[in-house]
Structures are given as structure tokens and as C-alpha cells.
Structure 1
């Protein structure tokens, strides 16, 4: 037999009284008149089961001693068929075995002795029904929670799928934006190079610098293993390092910086700051602008605009300083005399530790050798010596020319003692100072000093 359905909250509780004695039933009915529940009567266990089968009953109070089916047996059957129905046993005599059976098999809520106390009886029934109501409410809430949890699991599952789908969509959008941004940054690099070519039109071809500096910076980035972002910033800085010079007069643009007079020299010292100010408004150019700002700082702290010293100068600015001076020395934009590449590199070596980072000089020379495809510069066995440092057995690595351009000795010539003496005498007669590229034999290589090194 299935458990009876739970009565709806608006129904009054049903209380079933079971006793084979009519006077007892009448007495209980009178006592319970006016209570907030309906009273049903049964004069036997069998009749009680019939009533339970026909309608929901919330509480059964049965006499313990009845013919055919005693109270303990009835309550045990009710517990089995209708476990949610509260069970109370009413006993008029002390029968421990019946009470134990009712407790163990009928799982009774309480037992009440005859004769009973009216107030105690009413209190017991009220508490039993309240307890049952609370228990049913607990069960209802638990069931509601289970249903809500199932709904939440379903909603969470759907939400997770929607979130995953949305996340994938957002990630795809973010990837597309990253690609677009990278493309934009590459476009900025290209744009800066194009602009630098236009800016160079202010200068005669022999004075233009940016194209060669860009190539040197790209080679330096590869040589030092710089990442894409740092390489991009250095390339843009190389392209636009002198954009602050565009407001200068034509004559000032081509005048060596060492020959500028006081007012022009102040304008010259301001050009890194002006270049940075022009570029800072462009977000992708901010890091490149910072490199440009400090590319005229000196390793010993004597540069401008902020007199930074040593490693306080950004690494990219130190590299850019080497490239700018190497090229501008050859274009005659720093000293009155226009140098060749060898002389420019010797100049950089001479001022290592003062103007330039001494730790970068030799690496920069290797980069220059690669860019210019100059095997001599790339050969570590080649030294640059003064005539008084020459010794017999050394081999010329380059042609040696006098200051007037006359060829003195061909590359590959093996020097002898008398030939070295003649070179020293000819140098003194001309009043010049030769820089001689030689290969030094291994046994003679130790102890030699490199001019300007």
C-alpha cells in the first residue's frame, strides 16, 4: 500500500481516534471539540485501516488493548503503510511488553496513560501535530532545494557552455585585435622610414644619414638578439632621431656641430627633446621617443639633455649614439673634416668610456663590418697602429695613403725594419699622423697597443 498524499496547507489536520469502548471515544470527541483539527473515530483496528485507506490522516491515537488487533499491531501496520502519520498509544494499564512493541514496531511518538489529564492530552496532540507540520515543511523545503539545485545545475551547465562560447568568441576577437595592432605597429615602422626619407630631402645626398643608420640598427638588433618590440622601437628611433632638426635653417642643417656658434649650439642641444616632443603624442612611438631623447647622452655624464651617466642611459640610446656618430662623422656633420669609415671607427674607439659605452664598441665594429661587408674590420687579427708601433714582419691589411692621397704601400706588403723607419720619417716630414691597418703575427701580437683603444 502506498503512502497517503500530503494534505495541502489549507486543509485542517485529521486526527483519528481508535478505541473499542464507545464511552472513551465520546469522551475524547467532547474534549477535542473546537480544536483546530478534524476528529475521526474508529472502534477497531480494521475500521481504522479502512479510514486511512480512504483519506489522509495526520495523527492516529489508538487504545493499546483492543480485540482482534491490539493497538501496538495497528500502529506497526500504520508505520509500515503511512510512515508520515504521527502515532500515539493510549493505554489504561501497565503493560511493558505492549509499550515496547509499540515503540519498536509502531515507532510511536508518545504514549498516554488512562485516565488522562485533559490539558496534557491537548498539549501532547498539539505538539505532535506541530512536529509533524515542521517535519513535512522540512521535507517540502528539501525537495524544493533538490529541484532548485537540479535547475541550477542545468542553468550552470548552459551558462558554462555560453561562457565558453563567449570566451572563445572574445578570444578570437582579441587575437584579431592583436594581429591588427601588430600590423599597425609594423605599419608605423614602415611609415617612419618613409617619413625619414622625406625629411632627408632637406639635406643634400652627401649629408643624408637616416637610411644607413636604420640598416645599422637592424643589424645591431640581430647581433644582440633583441626581441621584436625592442627592435621595432630602435628602428623607428633610427628613422626619426633627427626629426627635431627640421625647424633648422638650411645652413645649420649642413654645418658640423663642432662649428656651430653659441645660439645655434643651444638649438642643436635641444633637438633630441624636440624630436621626443613631436613623437610622444603617437602612442606606438613613446618608447622610440624615449630612446631618441637620450641618444646624445655621454657615457661619462657630459651629454644632453639630462646628463645621464653609464648604464642609466637606455641601452637602445647607447646603440643609437654609436650609429648616429659613426654615420654623421662620415657625412661631416660632427667635425669639419669628413672621415672615412675606418677613421670613424677609430674615433669611436678613442672616445670609448667618455662618449660611448666601452662594452659596446667592439660589437658595434663587428656589426659595421657585416653591414659594409668589410672582411678586414671583422678580422680580430687586424690591428690599427701608429707608425711607431709598427714592427718588422707585420703585413699591411689595407692600402696606406698619405694625407694628400698618394699611395705609399699596397695591402699585403710585409713590413721590414728599414721600411718602418722610412714611414716614420715621411710622416714627420708631412706633419701628419698615419693610422696603419696591419695583421700582427701571433708571436708579435702580445703587448701591442691599439691606437685610441
Structure 2
């Protein structure tokens, strides 16, 4: 039976706080006083489930460590019984197994460490509820669209034009959403890129790395003609190489690895293994997980976790280390000084034969040069067009994203007439203006030649 979405989409959102310590509940209640939420309190998992059986709840924030039923178990049960409720884990422990269980079984939105920062906690709650509201609105629009489509079948032919004109905007939105989700469903690689946002959420924009590493790896794979399987594994490894850092504190996340000491340094050296452990249960991720496990090995054998040396290190791991270090050096995540791209390449060349495979260095530097100069635009068959200049047969050279970041179409998609029309309509509805990177096999002086 489909769960009823809480009615608090219109009313004030209901937030349920769960903790066995009365002092924590009191602190949270004081913090949320004056916020536009109805706050409910529970001192145990059982009491929380009882409350949720009586009231529609929009968001549950639960402590991880509680007697009887811990937070991960509670959130997993809420996920099964009330999937529309957003779930957040509150923990004062660096308890990776509990966090993994909450992610895998409870499908949590975020976890927050104790002691929390008041402003960050309030921001997290507000963003989670806004995201939840947006998703409910999307479902409402999709349901309304399907209902109107059924009504269209029963209307008189003289009313069809009137009905179509009134539902056109909704239909266009639903079509583009369905198209985006269909593309995601058929692309496991795209799914890992979306999942990699979990790590990026823990970092300020200037410290985020995943997107640049993914694109750099893709450029390498394309230039060297790597087979589809190897390219897919490398791309997924680039997307999720740092997922094992999710249990770190915020300060540790942005501290250069060269400045870490004692316990923090030991935790840093453990992150490739933790990343691999999180991904090994997913069968399509096993090969990518192995690349992640060994991407901090060093050519001279001084790396971690297994001190592999030379060609005993998987090729993909050697390449991933080059890409990770090249980007992280520029983000100030390795050394205290933040390098520019040229300095980062000089550093990599300096440590050839010690940290890096010496046979890969010069070739990798050439790939970086192409990457930095925009390898897409360097291809003479690639053009940047508006949506109204698109023609059937053109092939997307880059992912096309909406202004809000939503993926519309994957690179490699072959355009057809209906798809171009939908892009134009969606762009008009959003009030946006997209620059679309496409491959055009042929050109004439009078303009772009339409290819079928």
C-alpha cells in the first residue's frame, strides 16, 4: 500500500527529535524555538515509532547511540514504514559502521556530528525540508499530468485543443523529468557521479575535487582509446575515491594531508580501505573499488594501504593517483600552499619514480594540457550552439545540465527532432539560455549541415 504523503506540505513541517538524553532534547528544542516547525520529542526509538503512527512527520533527526534501538535501526524502520519522511542521523561518535548502516538501510539524507554548530544544523534542516517539498511538488505535478492525460481520452474532440494548451507547460516539464530519469536509470556511471555529491557536501566549493577528477580521467580515457569497461571503472573510481572520508570531522576534511598528525594521519591512511569497503558490496563497483583501494600506493613502495611497488600497483590506480594529486594540489588538500596548475605539474614531474609511475608522467602532462585548454572545444567537429540551432543527428559532446544543476541529457546522446523541440520548450519555460556542445560531422559555408 502506497504511503500517504504527510499533509504538512501545506501546514508547518513537523520535525521529530529522538534522543535518550533529556539535556540534548532540551537543547535542540530551545534551538528550534521560533523556527517555522512543529517540534515533537521522543526519548527512544519505540516512542518515536509510536508518535509516527499517530502523526504525519516530515523529518526525523535521531541520535545514533541509544539503548534498546539505536539510531541506525530506527531510521531503517522509518525508511520501511514512512519512506516519505526525511531522515538525519545525529552522532557524537566517529562510528563508521553505524553511519554505513544508516546510509545503506536508513537511506539517510545527512548525518550531523556532536557537538553541532547551531547555524549549520538549522541550515541542514531548512535545506532538507526544502528539498523534500520540491520532491513532493514534482510527484504532485507528475500525478496531475497523468490524471489530465486520462481525462483527455474522454473529452470531446472540440475540447482537445483547449485542454492541451492548458496542460502544455505541465506536460513539457513531466516529459523532461521522465527523460532525465530514464537517462540516469541506464547509466550506472551517472549514478555514481550523483552519489559523489555526498562527499562534496562536506567541502566548501573551493575544496571540491570530484567533478574535475572525473572530467580529467574521461579526457585521458578518450585520448588513449581505453575500452568501455576500463573507462567506466576509472570514471566511477574518480567519482567515489574519497567516499571513505565521510566520517571525518569538517576541519580534517579541509586540512592538507601533509599537516595531519597522530590519530588524524592514521585515519587519513585508512580512507582508501574504508572507501573500498563501502563499495565492494555493489557488484558493478568491485573493479572500481579495487582501483580506489590502491590509488594512494607509491611507485617506490612507500604508499598505503599495502605498500605495493611499481607495476604491482594496478594501472588504473596509478592513473587515478596522478589525477587526484593534480587536482588536490590545486585545492590545497595535500600541501599547505595551494598550487596553480603549472606548479602542480612541476611537482608531479619532480616526484616521478618516487610517488608516480615515471612512464606515465609526460603523457599525463599532455593530457592535462588538453584538459586545461578545453579538449572539447579543441576538437574541430565540436560546436557550441543554442537550442534553436540544433538539428537531428547531432551528438552531444558534453553533459547538458539545467541551470539548477539537474542533468538533462548525457554526453553521447544523438539528437532527434522531438528531443530538440522539448529542449527548446523546457529552456523557454525555465527562462534560461543553454549553450549546447555538439559534434557536427560536416559543415557548409552557409551554416551547419543537418545530418540525418
Q: TM-score, normalised by structure 1?
A: 0.42
- Greater Rg over alpha carbons, structure: 1
Q: TM-score, normalised by structure 2?
A: 0.42
Structure number with higher relative contact order (C-alpha < 8 Å, ≥ 6 residues apart): 2
